[in-house]
Structure 1
Amino acid sequence: MIENKSLGSKIFDVLNVVFLVIVMLICIMPVWYVLCVSLSSREAVNAGKVAFWPVGFNLLSYQKILGEGEFFGSFLISIKRVVLGTAVSMVCVLMAAFPLSRTKKQFPHKGIFMWILVFCMLFNGGTVPWYITMRNYHLMDSIWGLVLGTGLQVFNVILAVNFFKNLPSELEEACFIDGGGPWRNLISIYIPLAKPMVATIALFTMVMYWNEFFQGMVLSTRQSSYPLQTYIQQMAVTLDYSTMSVEQIAQAMKLNNLSLDSAKIFIAMIPVLIVYPFLQRYFVDGITLGSVKG
């Protein structure tokens, strides 16, 4: 017969639930507040009346953003950038991490390459040399410039290296006994076992590519080449009233910069909020196993 929980255990369960609810509210409230501000009137936002519910409900900020024809082009560019960038980055990370996770006997010079990667993570040449390099390779106004401009994320390589080190070496030995080489070992054994790590790094990479806007400003010379984050950032700071009609000016006067920025933030969060639930089950395992040094 199962004994009833003690009073102390019940109190702990209640306190645990209360604590988790508080943490949940702390995480949700900033997002909810941003949504409320984006749906509130200019007067209410200026007066600071918006708290936990929209005041003067309207969709003017979203109409302003979604009504622009360039918005959907920038959205498509960002989607392409995330898909291509995540694929290229994952291939580079796995190809770099696998040999660096081998023993010194298998890869004698791995320490030199690892120090080079760490040095590049801590120090870089700066924006101007990076821009000159991208221009000389004819990557201006190109989707590949937005994809390759970020380079290899060394932090992700370190996570992958430590993850691979924690996998049993007997698996590799069994693969070699069966006649497999390093490529088969990586593709058939290591990558399938590394799903938590791959999902975690893919999530990091997708969020990074989606939220990055500075490279779009530097590498794009025309608005049609802007990714979404660069487009909505530029739209907020470059409202040209000389090219607007009377109706457009009247609508712009009803907008508040804070409401417009809040609408941009919320729209930019939607794709990440959609993707995250499908990857979050791998997140804890990927971080935990990849953070232990072998």
Structure 2
Amino acid sequence: MVRETTAVSRIVDTVLILVLLVVTLLCVLPIWYTLMISLSDKAAAAGGTVSFRPIGFNVASYREIMKDTAFLHSFWVSIQRVVLGAAVSFIVTVMMAYPLSKSTRDFRLRNVLMWTLVFAMLFNGGLIPLYQTVKAYGLIDNIWVLVLSGGLPVFNVILVINFFRNLPKELEESAFVDGAGPWYTLLRIFVPLSVPVLATVTLFSIVGHWNEFFSGLVFMTRPENYPLQTYIQQMVVQIDLSEMNNDPEELKRLSELSNQTLNAAKIFIAMIPILAVYPFLQRFFIHGITLGSVKE
């Protein structure tokens, strides 16, 4: 009986490993294919002959991107948005989650505010009222509209509330007995103990700000203020042949470039920051958010 159970367990483990490998390949292959397109000759890219390795290897698209001031500026706008947005979301999330993690005996308006948050998460006033509000505050074509429009991620607040509620209450009670106030308790006890969940929601915020394009499309009227994803969404690369002359270097440059390879290179570069940040915060997912558990 034990041998049969062990054999079944090994089969299940093997199947799970195969499934995870397939899922991993499905996630990695599109990124790899985009990279191969960006490094291939324009004729091979246009002919659809590129697969798992570059054909006619060249880095002309990346050299051209380094000269594209619009792309570099949109990249810088997105970096500012991510830094400011993650900081604002972190501060607002922690400050809102701490009082809402209390019982109604300690904070009487808890249930009212909690239901208000849930209602705001499920329903909104629509795009036109939001646009009118942003316009009234003079935030059109301003980096802060990209930050403040998503400054309070309700789902993240709920995650942090649940984590705070599962921390031992004796810690807070001991701090109050020793004379610590709410701010000291929050910053010196709750925040250090909540690194896993705070790192997780911060990663959610970073990825959300980096990948979001619609608000830039709606609230930015000038292309130079577009964040990177809005720029890519609107991207139609046109190689200007009107400036073509008999310069051998110019002819060589045009022969190596195409809209497809340039677009692929820009899309791949846009992936790099998230691919670089994600592994450093991934370990907090392994530790888990510990929802529904109490650590003694």
TM-score (norm 1): 0.85
Specify every segment of 5 or more residues in structure 2 that has no aligned partner in the other structure, as ranges.
none
Report the Cα distance in structure 1 between the residues aligned to 2:232 and 2:20, rounded to whole angstroms: 35
Displacement after TM superposition at 1:39 (Å)? 1.9
- 1:86 and 1:198 map into 2 onto residues whose CA distance is 11
Uncovered stretches (5+) of structure 1, i.e. residues with no partner = 1-5
Contact 1:162 1:289 in 2 (8 A): no
- Pairwise CA distance, 1:62: 2.6
CA contact (8 A) 2:118 2:154 kept: yes
Deviation, 1:40, is 2.2
Contact 1:60 1:255 in 2 (8 A): no
Corresponding residue for residue 265 of structure 1: 267
What is the rounded CA distance, in whole Å, between the counterparts of 1:141 and 1:24 in structure 2? Answer: 39
Aligned to 1:26: 26
Q: Which amino acid aligns with 1:166?
A: N
- Provide the residue aligned with 1:3 in structure 2: none
> Residue 215 of structure 1 corresponds to which residue in structure 2?
215
Is the deviation greater in 174-183 or in 8-17?
8-17
- Structure 1 residue identity aligned to 2:279: P
Q: Output one character per residue of 1:234-272: Cα deviation in whole Å (capped at 9) or x when no partner.
A: 3x2374859x62268983994143x33322221111011
Q: Which residue of 2 aligns with 1:183?
A: 183
- 2:104 equivalent in structure 1: 104
Between 1:196-205 and 1:144-153, the stretch displaced more is 144-153
Instruction: Name the CA distance, whole Å, in 2 between partners of 1:10 and 1:85.
Output: 46
Q: C-alpha distance in 1, partners of 2:96/2:183? A: 13
Where do residues 201-280 of structure 1 align in structure 2 (5 Å cutoff)?
A: 201-234=201-234, 236-237=235-236, 239=238, 241=240, 245-246=243-244, 251=254, 254-257=257-260, 259-280=261-282
Superposition pairs of residues 192-203 of structure 1, within 5 angstroms: 192-203=192-203
User: What is the number of residues matched between the two proteins?
Assistant: 284
Note the aligned Cα RMSD (angstroms).
2.8
Contact 1:75/1:228 (<8 A) preserved? yes
Distance change >3 Å, CA 126–CA 62, structure 1 → 2:
farther
Q: After TM superposition, give the deviation of residue 145 of structure 1 in Å.
A: 1.6
Listed as ranges, the matches of 1:120-199 within 5 Å are 120-199=120-199
CA distance in 2, matches of 1:146, 1:32: 30
- 1: CA distance, partners of 2:18 / 2:112: 50
Q: Which amino acid aligns with 1:41?
A: D
Aligned with 2:284 (options 276, 282, 285):
282
Q: Give the Cα–Cα distance (whole angstroms) in 2 for the partners of residues 174 and 273 of structure 1.
A: 42
Q: 1:293 to 1:133 in 2, by over 3 A?
A: farther
Counterpart position of 2:91: 91
Taking structure 1 as reference, are residues 136 and 7 closer, same or farther at Cα in structure 2, changes over 3 Å only?
closer
- Secondary structure of residue in 2 paired with 1:245: coil
The offset of 1:49, in angstroms, is: 1.4
- The answer to which of 159-168 and 211-220 deviates more is 211-220
Say whether the 8 Å CA contact 2:60–2:256 is kept in structure 1: no
SS at match of 1:237: coil
- Partners of 1:102 and 1:165 within 8 A in 2: yes
8 Å contact 2:71–2:231 — kept in the other structure? Answer: yes
Tell me the amino acid that sits aligned with residue 268 of structure 1.
A
DSSP 3-state at the match of 1:246: coil
For residues 67 and 106 of structure 1, the distance between their equivalents in structure 2, rounded to whole angstroms, comes to 59
Alignment of 1:107-118 (within 5 A): 107-118=107-118
Please give the alpha-carbon distance, in whole angstroms, between the structure 2 residues aligned to 1:10 and 1:217: 51
Q: Which runs of 4+ in 1 moved over 6 A?
A: 9-16, 247-250
**Could you say what secondary structure the match of 2:138 adopts?**
coil
CA contact 1:162–1:293 (8 Å) conserved in 2? no
